[in-house]
Amino acid sequence: MGDTVTPDYDVVIVGGGLVGASLAVALAPTGLCIAVIEVVALGDVGQPSYDDRSVALTYGSRRIFEGMGVWPGIEARGVTPIHQIHISERGQFGFVRLDRKTAGTEALGYVVENRVVGESLLDAMRGFKNIRVICPATMKELKVGSDAATVSIEAQGEKQELRSKLVVIADGGRSGAREKLGIAVRRVDYGQTAVVANVSIKNTHHNVAFERFTPCGPVALLPMAGKRYSLVWSVNPQDVDALFALSNSEFLERLHSHFGDRLGPFLKVGKRSAYPLFLSQVDEHIQSRIALIGNAAHALHPVAGQGFNLGLRDVAVLAQVLCDGHGVGQDVGSSSLLGRYAQWRKHDHRMVTSFTDGLVRVFSNEFFPLTMVRNFGLIAVDIFPPLKRGLMRRTMGLSGKLPRLAQGLGLQ
């Protein structure tokens, strides 16, 4: 027999990181009653530092933030536009140059410190009375009934139960909520580790980003303010300890040797961190009164910078589906609405996953005939405008059926 008590909330979001907070802000204008549960305290962010981590936003993600009304706050806090992207393979002749002029946009994407996005979203959430942020709080249990789901949490030593028509799981790649629901995850280990740091160069970067493929994995350099680059260097796991044991000057010399002379010498490196690289995908993006978004649903290799942007498109589609259903009196946790969300996202998930996974596998293979094929392939993309435009629209998040937010429009 189903639950009969009216739920406290329309939507409870488990995870208040960038993806979960984005969904709360996107949904807020609909008037839905929303709760956000976050385990990490949302304290003072402190002063910006050299080591602040960054995210690459596609032009399509900028549109989504514009539709949410958040982009002005992000832009005011500081973004670095990407005007060109140079894609190549170390020691080979093929390359692709992507340019904003060809795309017909003011930028191909933007490099933004995570702190900047987080502050802007937090400010936006504070402006809505229908969003309740419960933080720090830990989810203890999740039960699903026919009319509502119940989330049991512990916050400041007290236990609470939140009843909601819909629970959205947005607590990242190591999702505890997903595990409690027993949702299976398919995981592929790439046998690579990403070494992440900010580095400085002597000359101006001219807003050019680089993706250079090497046998042990790609090296990405994303332009930041102040002649800095955000570095994501994919290496063999057995080499990580040796890289971290190097002095700063030795590390920069090793990076220069690995990347090449195109940027000249690297002058400074900040704090280094590392994380293993893998592909993970859930078998089901929805269950009864449950929807998964962001890394809780899919975690990608960082090549081409698609991970967060794919999660933000989850937000845009789910927000539109819920807004449209709520507008005509539908239960926002109904199977019909969640099924529409899952079906809409299926193609984008499949295409982006295949694209990033294919890049990693093709460019990690040193078989000589394949090396020649992929280098001629890079040249073909560079000289044939239709191929180049297709690649840009895919990487900029502008292909396929776009929800209203991804068109820069409001939900309503």
Whether residue 316 is predicted with pLDDT greater than 60 in this model: the reply is yes
* Mean pLDDT value of segment 348-357: 93
Domain range for 30 is: 9-77+115-187+279-371+397-407
> How do the residues of the chain divide into helix, strand and coil, expressed in percent and rounded to 5?
40, 30, 30
Whether residue 311 is predicted with pLDDT greater than 80 in this model: the reply is yes
In this structure, are residues 312 and 61 in contact, taking their beta carbons and an 8 Å threshold?
Answer: yes
Cα distance from N-terminal residue to C-terminal residue, the chain:
36
In the chain, the amino acid numbered 259 is F
Whether residue 187 is predicted with pLDDT greater than 50 in this model: the reply is yes
Three-state secondary-structure class, residue 199: strand
Cα separation, 118 vs 46, in Å, equals 12
Instruction: Tell me if 356 is assigned to some domain.
Output: yes
Q: Which residue has the tokens 């304290």?
A: 43
Three-state secondary-structure class, residue 122: helix
- Tokens standing for 347? 């193609």
Cα separation, 368 vs 21, in Å, equals 46
Strands (E), 225-337: 228-235, 266-269, 273-282, 286-287, 290-292, 298-299
Instruction: Tell me if 272 is assigned to some domain.
Output: no
Q: Which residue has the tokens 């030593």?
A: 157
Whose CA is closest to 281, among 237, 218, 214, 345?
Answer: 345
Please provide the average confidence, as pLDDT, over all residues in the chain: 92
Instruction: Tell me if 240 is assigned to some domain.
Output: no
Q: Please give the pLDDT value at position 2.
A: 40
Whose CA is closest to 208, among 93, 348, 95, 289?
Answer: 95
* Mean pLDDT value of segment 123-139: 95
Instruction: Tell me if 119 is assigned to some domain.
Output: yes
- Tokens standing for 195? 């070494």
Which H or E run includes 72? helix 71-77
Three-state secondary-structure class, residue 347: helix
Instruction: Tell me if 37 is assigned to some domain.
Output: yes
Q: Please give the pLDDT value at position 370.
A: 56
Tell me the pLDDT tens digit for each residue of 269-291: 999 999 999 999 998 999 999 99
- Tokens standing for 49? 């530092």
The DSSP string of 331-342 is: -TT-HHHHHHHH
Tell me the pLDDT tens digit for each residue of 84-100: 999 998 767 678 999 99
Three-state secondary-structure class, residue 106: coil
CB under 8 Å to 203, separation ≥6 — which residues? Answer: 227, 263, 264
Q: Please give the pLDDT value at position 48.
A: 62
Cα separation, 220 vs 392, in Å, equals 17
**Beta-sheet pairing, 84-89 with 208-214:** parallel
With bands split at pLDDT 50, 70 and 90, how would you rate the model's confidence at 369?
low
With bands split at pLDDT 50, 70 and 90, how would you rate the model's confidence at 359?
confident
Whose CA is closest to 38, among 141, 172, 149, 166?
Answer: 172
Q: Please give the pLDDT value at position 361.
A: 80
Q: Please give the pLDDT value at position 412.
A: 79
* Mean pLDDT value of segment 171-199: 95
Q: Give the number of domains in the chain.
A: 1
Three-state secondary-structure class, residue 215: coil
**C-alpha separations of 174 from 190, 204, 231 in Å:** 17, 38, 24
CB under 8 Å to 178, separation ≥6 — which residues? Answer: 169, 171, 185, 282, 292, 296
Q: Please give the pLDDT value at position 81.
A: 98
Task: Read off φ and ψ for residue 56, nearest 5 degrees.
Answer: -95, 115
Whether residue 371 is predicted with pLDDT greater than 90 in this model: the reply is no
Cα separation, 9 vs 15, in Å, equals 16
* Mean pLDDT value of segment 92-115: 92
Whether residue 133 is predicted with pLDDT greater than 90 in this model: the reply is yes
Higher pLDDT, 214 or 129: 129
Instruction: Tell me if 283 is assigned to some domain.
Output: yes
Instruction: Tell me if 104 is assigned to some domain.
Output: no
Whose CA is closest to 164, among 180, 178, 176, 153?
Answer: 153
What CATH code is carried by the domain that includes residue 314?
Answer: 3.50.50.60
Whether residue 382 is predicted with pLDDT greater than 80 in this model: the reply is no
With bands split at pLDDT 50, 70 and 90, how would you rate the model's confidence at 43?
low
Three-state secondary-structure class, residue 382: helix
With bands split at pLDDT 50, 70 and 90, how would you rate the model's confidence at 73?
very high
Q: Please give the pLDDT value at position 1.
A: 33
Tell me the pLDDT tens digit for each residue of 144-180: 999 999 999 999 889 999 999 999 999 999 999 999 9
DSSP label of 90: T
Higher pLDDT, 148 or 377: 148
* Mean pLDDT value of segment 386-390: 86
Instruction: Tell me if 208 is assigned to some domain.
Output: no
